[in-house]
Amino acid sequence: MKRQLLYYVLFLCFFLPATAQKKAYMHPEAQIAFVKKQINKKQEPFLSAYRQLISLADSALKIPHHALEDFSVPGYYIDAEGHRRNSKALQTDAFYAYCSALAYRLSGSKKYGNKAIELMTAWAKVNKKYSDNDGTLVMSYSGNAMVMAAQLMSESSLWKKDDHTLFDRWLLNVYRKANNEIRTRANNWADWGRFGSTLCAVYFNDTAELNETFPTLMPLTLTNYVSP
């Protein structure tokens, strides 16, 4: 129930109209300002969702990163335990980076912003590649929260230039690469690839990358969602 409240406020935050934004981020400034206003007015469900978000961000302060040099994720039906264990490393850190970044933007508390940066920097420094049957797919759908965290922190003075540059390099060389490899697949893997490629293109303001991704969205039919 608590997470449902959080998801609800994030849903509202995403679908509220945004105007005059420099970039079409997942949470444009107008959306963030609107949610902050509702929180200050103690409006529900915003207030309850915000409290849950802060609780999650406080939990993140207590955990170390789980970055892996080789994000090796075996196929689930081959090694279910190994799949879950290695997937969880990125899923946990990306989720908490996003929660921390959003908590920072809504509360202004630097400790949350610094935690988001810590988690993003850890993956940028440690992770060099993905591998095994599901490494590409899981990197794609688990890493998207890292991009959203980066969007939220992109204009913050807390993010030192060297760390910011390092993270951007990881996005290009590892995360975006994974998405681009699967965005033309003939099944639902492609959906995650297209989403991740689009997130990166918007983050980097890369029109050429958007032009590469957009044509892959056009020929979709129901049969594309069933693996041959």
Q: Provide the percentage of residues in the chain whose pLDDT is more than 70.
A: 82
Tokens of 56: 């999650």
Please write the tens of the pLDDT for every residue from 96-137. Answer: 999 999 999 999 999 999 999 999 999 999 999 999 999 999
**Structural domains of the chain sorted by starting position, each given as residue range(s) with its CATH number in brackets:** 69-225 (1.50.10.100)
Residue 24: the pLDDT is: 63
Amino acid occupying residue 163: D
CB-based burial label for 122 (10 Å; 0-12, 13-18, 19+): middle
Q: Sorting pLDDT into bands at 50, 70 and 90, what band is 211?
A: confident
Residue 187: the pLDDT is: 83
Specify whether the CB–CB gap between 113 and 120 falls below 8 A.
no
Least confident of 7-16, 117-126, 216-225: 7-16
What is the sign of the dihedral through the CA atoms of 171, 186, 217 and 32? negative
Tokens of 43: 């409006």
Whole-number Å distance between alpha carbons of 45 and 48: 6
Residue 7: pLDDT over 60: no
Question: Please, which residues bridge with residue 71 across strands?
Answer: 130
Whole-number Å distance between alpha carbons of 138 and 86: 9
Please write the tens of the pLDDT for every residue from 18-73. Answer: 433 456 688 989 999 999 999 999 999 999 999 999 999 999 999 999 999 999 99
Residue 82: the pLDDT is: 94
Residue 208: the pLDDT is: 80
Residue 209: the pLDDT is: 76
Residue 26: the pLDDT is: 85
Residue 149: pLDDT over 90: yes
Whole-number Å distance between alpha carbons of 180 and 52: 34
Please state, rounded to an integer, the average pLDDT across all residues of the chain: 87
Residue 16: pLDDT over 70: no
Give the global pTM. Answer: 0.84
Specify whether the CB–CB gap between 100 and 60 falls below 8 A.
yes
Question: Please, which residues bridge with residue 129 across strands?
Answer: 70
Angle (CA) 97 160 149, round 5°: 20
Whole-number Å distance between alpha carbons of 186 and 180: 14
Segment holding 209, helix H or strand E? helix 207-213
Q: How big is the chain, counted in residues? A: 228
Asked if omega into 74 is within 30° of 0 (cis), the reply is: no
